[in-house]
A and B are shown apart, each in its own frame.
Chain A
Amino acid sequence: MNIFVLMKRTFDTEEKITIVDGKVNEEGAEFIINPYDEYAIEEAIQVRDKHGGEVTVVTVGNEDAEKELRTALAMGCDKAVLINVEDDIEAHDQYTTAKIIAEYLKDKEPDLILAGNVAIDGGSGQVGPRVAELLGIPYVTTITKLDIDGDKVTVVRDVEGDEVVIETSLPLLVTAQQGLNEPRYPSLPGIMKAKKKPLEELELDDLDLEEEDVEAKTKTIEVFLPPKREAGKILEGDIADQVKELVRLLRSEAKVV
């Protein structure tokens, strides 16, 4: 089976966000594989181990993403592709990313594409479904279970806490929800092997795309931090009195109940 994983490099979830010169400051920040993409990678590896084939992990970004691609290879992916757009594109949005990925995939005949359901930084959840639609294949988002039997596929989709069982077929794109699996840690031999696995680097030129083809449709004009929350009142006295006081405050001071 020809399997592809779409992976985004993102800030570690431990990171606090600061803003410098109107942009999110990346200086000194730790980066990780987007947590939902880890589920996608794990599932891709499991599907390959069961049904045979090859897993290629693809990212659009700059050369810094090589580290996360190597991690994906160490987990067990077979090949990695970095589409390096740093020199070619200034304004970038989900439209841009999806177009680039779809252009790369269009002649690769993928059977299965896995993505995260959302990137924890940009947070739009657009890229997976956009890519599927550009390729003309069906998709199912936020899946917690995937069963493949020949061309027939059964997925369980998480819909705001309810489970929807869906039948569909390959080729297919799915996006991973928490609970799909337990992503493995790269093993030491895995890390050694990853160093020798192929990591291809492409640019827009290699994809038959001009900058105009992928021009963003939206633009960020400002980035800001939410007002800092101040620590409030810690109530005192015996617990029963504290509870009474809390209810009073919620009613007459905060006016939320």
Chain B
Amino acid sequence: MARKVLALAEIRDGSLRNVSFETIAAAKTIAQGGEVVSVLVGESVQSYANELLFHGADRVVVVEHTNLKHYTSDGYSQALMAVVDAEKPEGIVFGHTALGKDLSPKLAIKLNSGLVSDVVSVEEAGGNLIFTRPIYSGKAFEKKIVTDGMIFVTVRPNNIQPLERDESRSGEVKAISVDIKDLRTIVKEVVRKTAEGIDLSEAKVIVAGGRGVKSAEGFKPLQELAEVLGGAVGASRGACDAGYCDYSLQIGQTGKVVTPDLYIACGISGAIQHLAGMSNSKVIVAINKDPEANIFKVADYGIVGDLFEVVPLLTEEFKKLKVHS
């Protein structure tokens, strides 16, 4: 059954987040030959439309308004509902990002629909769309189907392969005008605490530190390694509780669940709550001075040693590689 499916794009630091392209890819599978319409929402965002077409959107709908400068659930849901009214889609895909998580349940209520959150894969089998998602923070998975109404899902960043970028693709870009008003939550200030660039949930490489890092200062060598690899820094709860870093870096059952290509755990013992958040990474490296540490049980490669010796050497080695290639 061919369906029309909306895919919400997201912008961060002046560029489209990768998850925007992943929503297009997921929407393609859901559409089953139907049309995929990317949606751009913001103050001034039309210029991003072509990039969405290059990544496989058939068309782009743009909603611009000064009241959409900052994300608010009221503002964005008014924009999205206007798009839904105009397009009458049978499916909607958001990223499972801070924005997507906050907005999707509100829209699901407005549409009187179900919502499958945090989807890591979409497949079609025997006429059914099957959505796989982690439960128990990645300790298990479930497969879900939609039994009634709109097919509405959020997809976890970094799990669904985007389409190859192709500049020869084109399509209609249409702006619709909506009066965005009566916002009940007002953004007063955005305090930037994270580094420019890579978000933990989208990073291909994560260098994570635990209590073994011993101080805020101790995270420096980890940051340097992450930088060389174009990755992001994460942490165990042990490190966060000790005040070495911000809770927003915490990975695990009560933190972020991440699935990078490469996860380098430094001075992390490998508690079950930590493993829940990272053991579905593609390749895991553990650096720990205790050969009995639990983390080695899930690591593909392990180095038993002092992280303050190993990590800088590793950074040097990768730097050399970069120079050579």
A interface with B by C-beta (< 8 Å): 11, 13-14, 16-17, 19, 24, 35-36, 93-95, 98, 120-130, 132-134, 138-142, 154, 158-169, 177-179, 215-226, 229, 231-235, 239-240, 242-244, 246-247, 249-251, 254, 256-257
Contacts and interface: CB of A to CB of B under 8 A. Distances in A.
B108 A162 contact: no
B188 A159 contact: no
A24 B137 CA distance: 14
Sorted nearest first, the 4 A-B pairs with minimum C-beta distance are: A217-B114, A161-B248, A232-B300, A129-B105
B89 interface: no
A123 B144 contact: no
A163 B190 contact: yes
Query: Main secondary structure on chain B at its contact with chain A?
Result: mixed
Interface string B238-249: 000000001111
B147 A162 contact: no
Contacts of A250: 262, 283, 285, 301
A220 B262 CA distance: 31
A167 B109 CA distance: 24
Nearest to B77: A133
Given A120-B253, A217-B149, A94 B115 contact: yes
Contact of B109 (A130, A179, A220, A223): A130
Contact of A235 (B137, B149, B303): B303
A257 B253 CA distance: 27
Contacts of A166: 185-188
29 contacts: A24-B136, A120-B137, A123-B134, A126-B105, A126-B108, A126-B117, A129-B102, A129-B105, A141-B102, A161-B199, A162-B194, A164-B187, A165-B187, A165-B188, A166-B188, A168-B186, A215-B148, A217-B147, A223-B141, A226-B140, A226-B279, A229-B297, A232-B300, A232-B301, A235-B303, A247-B318, A247-B321, A251-B321, A257-B321
Interface stretch (B48-56, B173-181, B305-313): B305-313
Contact of B136 (A35, A95, A121, A164): A121
Q: Interface centre among B114, B276, B279, B305, by most A CB within 10 Å?
A: B114
Given A129-B109, A154-B188, A217-B114, 15 more contacts: A17-B136, A17-B140, A98-B105, A123-B133, A130-B105, A161-B248, A163-B193, A167-B188, A168-B186, A215-B148, A217-B115, A217-B149, A233-B302, A235-B302, A254-B301
A256 B283 contact: yes
Contact of A159 (B98, B106, B146): B98
Interface in B267-303: 272-273, 276, 279-280, 282-285, 291, 296-303
A243 B298 contact: no
Given A235-B302, A240-B313, A16 B272 contact: yes
B302 A218 contact: no
Contact of A94 (B105, B282, B291): B105
A223 B135 CA distance: 9
B101 interface: yes
B193 A161 contact: yes
B163 interface: no
A243 B310 contact: yes
B86 interface: no
Contacts of B323: none
A133 B109 CA distance: 7
B298 A231 contact: yes
Contacts of B283: 250, 254, 256
